[in-house]
């Protein structure tokens, strides 16, 4: 949020003052920080809600590695409960992403590698990719009925 607000604050201060630009940048940064502190203190901003929202928005399409990287770019960390929930659901999410993009199981090594590269690009771990390409919780050709699964 700070990164997005700072250029607007600098341009607003620079337009209203005849002083040096360096002073406008420092003053703008101080003002933006004060506003962000006030918003957080009054419950309008919350890192926990941001993390929850980002995980919810990304979890259906991306793996844990990608989600963690995005959160790291925003300088926030994934909580222990959310990390465990993501870890527990990663195989199912990888299988769902693979099935949406590739409705057919890989027929040869080249197609398997293509699907593996796709899943790796989406941020799934190598272990989960291997399990998803072996059929995940159901396996290729197995019924979706949990009673028929042997895993």
Per the domain annotation, does 148 fall within a domain?
Answer: no
Q: Which of 3-12, 49-58, 61-70 has the lowest mean pLDDT?
A: 3-12
Considering the domain architecture, whether residues 60 and 92 belong to the same structural domain is answered as yes
Please give the average per-residue pLDDT across 123-140, as a whole number: 83
pLDDT, one tens digit per residue, over 37-46 is 888 888 888 8
- pTM over 0.85, yes/no: no
Considering the domain architecture, whether residues 32 and 93 belong to the same structural domain is answered as no
Considering the domain architecture, whether residues 16 and 83 belong to the same structural domain is answered as no
Q: Which of 114-118, 137-141, 145-149 has the lowest mean pLDDT?
A: 145-149
Considering the domain architecture, whether residues 30 and 66 belong to the same structural domain is answered as no
Considering the domain architecture, whether residues 122 and 89 belong to the same structural domain is answered as yes
Q: Which domain holds residue 29?
A: 2-41
* Count of structural domains, the chain: 2
Per the domain annotation, does 36 fall within a domain?
Answer: yes
- Of the candidates 144, 95, 85, the one whose C-alpha atom is nearest the C-alpha of residue 124 is 95
Per the domain annotation, does 92 fall within a domain?
Answer: yes
Whether the per-residue pLDDT at 82 is higher than 50: the answer is yes
Considering the domain architecture, whether residues 10 and 52 belong to the same structural domain is answered as no
Considering the domain architecture, whether residues 71 and 135 belong to the same structural domain is answered as yes
Q: What percent of the chain has pLDDT over 90?
A: 45
Considering the domain architecture, whether residues 66 and 121 belong to the same structural domain is answered as yes
Considering the domain architecture, whether residues 113 and 80 belong to the same structural domain is answered as yes
Considering the domain architecture, whether residues 63 and 9 belong to the same structural domain is answered as no
Whether the per-residue pLDDT at 141 is higher than 80: the answer is no
């Amino acid at each position: 949020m700070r990164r997005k607000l700072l250029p607007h604050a600098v341009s607003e201060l620079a337009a209203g003052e005849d002083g040096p630009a360096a002073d406008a940048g420092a003053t703008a940064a101080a003002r933006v920080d004060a506003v962000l502190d006030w918003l957080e203190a009054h419950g309008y901003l919350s890192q926990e809600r941001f993390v929850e929202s980002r995980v919810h928005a990304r979890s259906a399409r991306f793996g844990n590695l990608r989600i963690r990287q995005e959160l790291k770019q925003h300088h926030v960390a994934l909580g222990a409960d959310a990390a465990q929930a993501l870890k527990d659901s990663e195989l199912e999410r990888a299988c769902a992403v693979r099935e949406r993009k590739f409705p057919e199981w890989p027929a040869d090594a080249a197609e398997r590698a293509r699907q593996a590269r796709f899943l790796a690009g989406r941020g799934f771990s190598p272990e989960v990719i291997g399990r998803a390409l072996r059929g995940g919780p159901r396996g290729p050709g197995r019924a979706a009925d949990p009673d028929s699964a042997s895993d």
